[in-house]
Structure 1
Amino acid sequence: MLGLGYGIASPFIFRSVWTPASQFYPTGTGLLILPNRRETLFQDAAGTIPAMSPGDPVGLARDLSGGGNHASQATALSKPRLGRHPASGLRNRANGAQAVDTVAWGSGGVSNGLTYTKVGTGTEGGVPYVDIRMTGTATASQHAVGWSSANSRIPMTSGFAVASVTARVIAGAPPTGATQNGIRLQVFELDAAFAILTTGASNSITSSVDTTITLSRGAMAVGVAYTSAFLILEGGATEVIDVTYRIKGLQFEIGSTPTALQHNLSPYDITEAVYADVWYLSMDGVDDHMQTQSVIWGTDESTVIMAMAPAQTSTQYCPFRFAPTGSPGSGFVKSASGIMSATVGSTVAAYAPAPTPVNGTAEVYAFTSKIQTPALNLRRNGALVATSYASQGAGIYADGVMSVGSWNGPFLMSGRIYGLMAINRNLTPTEIIRAEQYMARLAGVTLT
């Protein structure tokens, strides 16, 4: 008779595998949304049309906790969008810069006697390029916009933004009669209504050899709220011009020095060589939000762990809330004074200064709360940042819908949600750390 021993030295040692979903077993209630699990996302609230590609609307995000508390949105304009960016972070804000076959790059036009035509596209060294031909006799010294970032404005009241591009002449000769000839960059400072306050221009590219130009500009003008970039093709008055440029590697980003190129095909589709993609739900701050069915919470405890990148700088918003208004409830809210807080009823645990949401920095937040023996802890990127022991009343959390991206309707969030876990018990310190580590991987965040 053959005996099988499973002692200490045996290779057959079985250990449970930690997953976010396992924290809800056997009796946990709540919500688990993971956008990287794209098979759980659908374009329609009924869950019949998969949402798999960047830019797809998301009308249903299935609850992975096992409780069936799926988050949905039936109104088309209120659906978040599915997006991705590299685990290295989202840097290239030149939306559509590498989508050379789309309308992000002008397909042609006539201005002051010159005709601008997109005559070719392709890839060199893994980088998409566009060929633009400029022909005719210029009737005035003027320029045409080869690409603009009208939909790529960066919110900025201080600091620097930098644009960069590589180009060369592949046919004909560049113009010589204008002060600025050939291809150049411009970076504008804009006010809150997008009116131009001031601008700066780079040197021009006139060489037949790949040449990279950059233009960095600080937010200096009074009333500046945004920066924006343009790629300009310019010719001089009375010149007879016939020149074709090959343009590639356009990038517009925060900072004063260009970084490695990220391929920006759309606001929701940004990739970078050697880095894995991270996936998220994009909330527009106007009407995007999702809600679950009414949930029986059943306890006086909660743990919420969330990876997100808010885009607001001063407005109130709420990435997540559970329990109806007017009853003991819990959620994240950022006040107009720049304080991130976790709330339970009227009790607030807050910390200052605020995180850095101006440029959409991804972070991991976690809080635990308990009503009857008051305790509320708020954590940011793996570190405890605030605690409250103030009275939270009595009883348990009321039943109600859970809201993603709003406070049951108002206080809409603008930004990205990479993962959300909410459960009706206090996770142990070890469980919280594991959940934070999991969410950090989803968003490309380094915990402290």
Structure 2
Amino acid sequence: MSKFDFDLFVIGAGSGGVRASRVAASHGARVAVAEEHRVGGTCVIRGCVPKKLLVYGAHFAEDLKDARQFGWDVPDCKFDWDRLRDNVLNEVTRLEGLYGQTLENHKVTLFKSRATVTGPQQVTLADGQTISAERILIATGGWPFVPEFPGSEYAITSNEVFHLGKLPKRIVIAGGGYIANEFAGIFNEFGSKVTIVNRSDTILRGYDEQIRDRLLQISMTKGIEFKFNAPFRSIEKKDDGSLTVHLDNCDPIDADAVLIATGRVPNTKGLGLEDVGVELDEKGAIKVDEANQSSVPGIYAVGDVTDRIQLTPVAIREGQAFADSVFGGKPTTVDYRNVPSAVFSHPPIGAVGMTEAEARNTLGSIRTYTSDFRAMKNVLAGRNERALYKMIVNAATDQVVGLHMIGPDAPEILQAAAVAVKAGLTKADFDATVALHPSMAEELVLLK
């Protein structure tokens, strides 16, 4: 008999923690999970899943207008925020139940409690109960970062935005990353007056410059306002409940809601990690090796809490690799090269591999190919919005090292194309592939 209560104790029942738990259990390990919020983590409960449902809802604003050009007699429609919000939250609850059922089916013990690490092989629950485990996995994800300034308590984050009591007529969104731009597109389509405020002069840092410039151009055409180089000074709350945002280098902005989307930080505060010798970086992320082990033997971490790549599929891959390696006898590491990503803006962005700037700095000699076109649907609908596809090629080898796209369904198209980039295919391989016509995706094999 083992001298430990469990072979594995996981703190955090998000995507990475649940995957690690069920796979470890399937390998025969005795597994427990502690979750202080709701099973499912950021992605399912307050992140990509409910946000994507809002994105779907927002698309109907343009689709209903466009339908008239396609022969449909669509009357003027009224949007009901309460109905969409409640339907989305009900779907989140359904998915939470499925995640809990998955743990139960694999005989994983679930503690609905906060847990802290109180020893190299010990955790303590909020009620004081101590539990021993041969190995501990930290999978507590990330948490929205809110800078401190007067009135910051009046702002909301992506955690609370799904629960708004009513649709704001005017919303100020702080930040220039994917969360800020996604919610800007969502609320703009719902009819809110949207202003993005960014302390720098760049949106979507890390994405290809041409692609992000195209999104900026389209967003402004749709009516979204941008204020650059404008750090927050304060938020003032008025008697009627409305807010006034005071900024540097910019006039004050009146709003009904302020959404802070200035990034996420590893959720390690108060877990007791430093007390047992777990090394953290300056952002609070757990430092791990390629086997996901921290500086303390037996304590591991996966997902956003390590701040490697903050994407749900990456956390799932890391959780799988950890469980297979430690409990399945199948040593596995995660390959972080050519991880595809998407921004579900309006229109959306898909990207994989190097940007043009990264390729020039890394490879020196490159070739770039672009296709700048109007989707067939937009032509008939009378929309001037243009898509942009971009391919980056290593001039020395003809290998495609980057694909970047903005336009309708770009992430759906990019997923399959990412396989080609991951496989190291060449521009000649793309050229040799017969186009699927008529489609937007065919542009990828017609680039000249």
> Same fold per TM (> 0.5)?
no
1 or 2, which has the higher helix percentage? 2
> Structure 1 length normalisation: TM-score?
0.25
Instruction: Tell me: higher relative CO, structure 1 or 2? Use CA pairs within 8 A at least 6 residues apart.
Output: 1
